[in-house]
Structure 1
Amino acid sequence: MEFILSEDYNKMTPVKNYPAHQSRVTMVLFVLELEWVLSTGQDKQFAWHCSESGQRLGCYRTSAVASGLQFDVETRHVFIGDHSGQVTILKLEQENCTLLTSFRGHTGGVTALCWDPVQRVLFSGSSDHSVIMWDIGGRKGTAIELQGHNDKVRALSYAQHTRQLISCGGDGGIVVWNMDVERQEHHCRKCGKAVCGKCSSKRSSIPLMGFEFEVRVCDSCHEAITDEERAPTATFHDSKHNIVHVHFDATRGWLLTAGTDKVIKDLQACTSEPNRRPSGYALYAVMVAIGLTCPRGHLFCFIKAGNGQRYKTNDDSKVAR
């Protein structure tokens, strides 16, 4: 559904309904430049609509239920990650689409996608606890695995001005990756030779290869790894709740998270406790408005809860309306 927000952000008026899917919608993305609404559903359908006319422009059936959706405006490429672990790239036209490629790198389902249009790099998070950086623009098939979570990756966000990737796990862990570091592909996990537990019991972290935690390496590599090579390239934080959505405000340096505990937190761990919070219902969708469109430039957060109700909080009063 499409809504019009009142000037004081206290009222949402429905104006348009998009009959896009036969079952629950899993992802929605609005492309302002093209006036398109992209969506995926549990019916394994990807669809795109014109936001002006509400007309359905086209659809594509995915191999599994989609759980990640990103779009590149310049090339009109859409990236779809699904529960089978596959990432599909489509080229969208006004009324049709072309399958460009699909690839796999995770042992679990894809849970989040994030696209950097400047470096032309796609990040995918998975239930296998890993993040993979795919070099789409280089067209060399380069994929760098990042290991820094102890639970499934639930959300991804990218800060272009600092070239930092923010990944959030189901256990509340937040990892901030420095993507200015040149990382290498791998597999001892250092020299590339296959190593089993009988061949080596040595383990070491190798951050330059994406392994912030210790992994198995062969004996010779373990002796050769220097302290500089073991220096972390990521920082670790605990959000104290299971994250389902993350939004990074680059202008303020704030990180907003929403969790299954019905709590919204910002970077300073300031918890929003609205008077009319959706008690007993999990939060599963968050939309953030910032900048000049908001009164006094404040940040407003619109939350949809499991009971179908919508709530509003802001960074000043912390009150839901």
Structure 2
Amino acid sequence: MAAQIKAPVNMSQANIRKPQLINKIEGHSDDVNMAIITPQEEGVITASDDRTVRVWLKRDTGQYWPSICHTMQCAASCIDFNAETRKLFVGLENGTICEYQVADDYNKMNHVRDYLGSVRSLAWDDERSLLFSASFDQSIIVWDIGGRQGTAFELQGHHDRVQSVVYASSSKQLLSAGDDCILAIWDMDVKRQETPDWAESDMCQKCNSPFFWNVKTMWEMKTIGVRQHHCRHCGKAICAKCSQNKSTIPVMGYEYEVRVCDQCHSDLSDEDRAPMATFHDTKQSVTFMSLDSTRKQLLTVGKDRVIKVAANSVVCPKCDQAPRLKSDSLLVLSS
């Protein structure tokens, strides 16, 4: 049986109007993963498993015809477009984010640069030129494309795949959700620090114990090698004995406790551990979100085939209030 949308019980029949089909766009040879309407032009941008990204413009005949058909290196899983700057970001299945500049007449898209990451969803901060990408490896990457090109900040707070991200420019908050049934609200109006590169060493950089692959030093010291770990705060290669503590590091995006060396654990203060994000139970595994910042409403699509509309979803960055669900605004898809 086809899916049905159950209207709110309080809605009068007189206010119900059947949606009218005004056009259909066909032409992709494989699944279409995402489609968005261009705000300042009668057009649509689509991404498909057939490896193409297409821009469709409405012609005088009333039909949509492709003005751009760009072939990617692999299937395009998601797209994000900013009408003001005409920047188009395409997330590919191989973990690459491609940035394009779309021409004023929508007849050409020029490749700018690529970014690496396991991409499921994209969001864009136009004011500060920050690109947010949701990843299957439970992390969110913040790409600083504006002021410091190439800089990437990580946000670690989920414990399963991050399926969707949306950005609220008015409050400078990033909202993320995924398979762990958690809605995270990240304060992006704070100074964040890039995670350090992990050091390479054959010995613990704290106590000089050899790691288990350092056979020569193990023989000379007449000892058994130890397993290598890394401090998430300083990036040094350390052993388990020198990293017996864990700590949150919100400035680096770690909102849950991670391994740190004993020295860094002593150096981190309670102020350094103060959270920069709040987490709320969505009671569903979220696959997609859409945000209306003006009306402060957040729409979530779940794997349980339930679409929820949450009110007051954009809260003060310092507030700990969870989004309030409007029971009379639930759209339930039943099969």
TM category, shorter: 0.7 to 0.9
**Structure 1 residue runs without a partner (length 5+):** 1-6, 281-321
Q: Which runs of 4+ in 1 moved over 3 A?
A: 194-199, 270-275
Contact 1:44 1:61 in 2 (8 A): yes
SS in structure 2 at match of 1:231: coil
- Shift in Å at residue 37 of structure 1? 0.8
Deviations 1:142-188 (A, max 9, x none): 11000010111111111111111000121210000000110001123
Match of residue 3 from structure 1: none
Question: SS in structure 2 opposite 1:12?
Answer: coil
Q: 1:208 aligned to 2:263?
A: no
Letter of the 1:189 partner, please give it. Answer: R
Looking at secondary structure, tell me which structure has more strand per residue: 1
**C-alpha distance 152-272 of structure 1, shift in aligned 2 (>3 A):** farther
Offset from partner CA, 1:43-66 (integer Å, 9 cap, x none): 121111113451211122223322
Residue 90 of structure 2 aligns to a residue whose secondary structure is strand
CA RMSD of aligned residues (A): 2.2
| Aligned ranges 1:61-210 → 2 under 5 Å | 61-93=71-103, 94-104=106-116, 106=117, 109-187=118-196, 188-195=231-238, 197=240, 199-210=242-253
Query: Are 1:113 and 1:123, in contact at CA under 8 Å, matched by a contact in 2?
Result: yes
Equivalent runs, 1:219-258 vs 2, <5 Å: 219-258=262-301
Gaps of 5+ in 2: 1-13, 197-230, 311-322
Indicate how the Cα distance of structure 1 residues 193 and 34 shifts in structure 2: closer, same or farther if over 3 A, else same. Answer: farther
Aligned positions, number: 270
TM-score by length of 1: 0.78
Task: Quote the offset at 1:252 in angstroms.
Answer: 3.2
Give the Cα–Cα distance (whole angstroms) in 1 for the partners of residues 333 and 271 of structure 2: 49
TM-superposition CA deviations, 1:1-31 (whole Å, max 9, x none): xxxxxx9562222232222311111000111
Asked if structure 1 preserves the Cα contact closer than 8 Å seen for 2:123 and 2:132, the reply is yes
SS in 1 for 2:146: coil
User: Matched residues in 2 for 1:13 and 1:80: separation?
Assistant: 30
How many angstroms apart in 2 are the aligned matches of 1:245 and 1:51?
27
Once residues 16 and 170 of structure 2 are traced to their aligned partners in structure 1, the CA distance between those partners, rounded to angstroms, is: 29
- For 2:109 and 2:303, locate their aligned partners in 1 and report how far apart those are by CA, in whole Å: 36
* Separation (CA, whole Å) in 1 of partners of 2:240 and 2:17: 60
Structure whose alpha-carbon radius of gyration is higher? 2
Stretch moving more, 13-22 or 137-146: 13-22
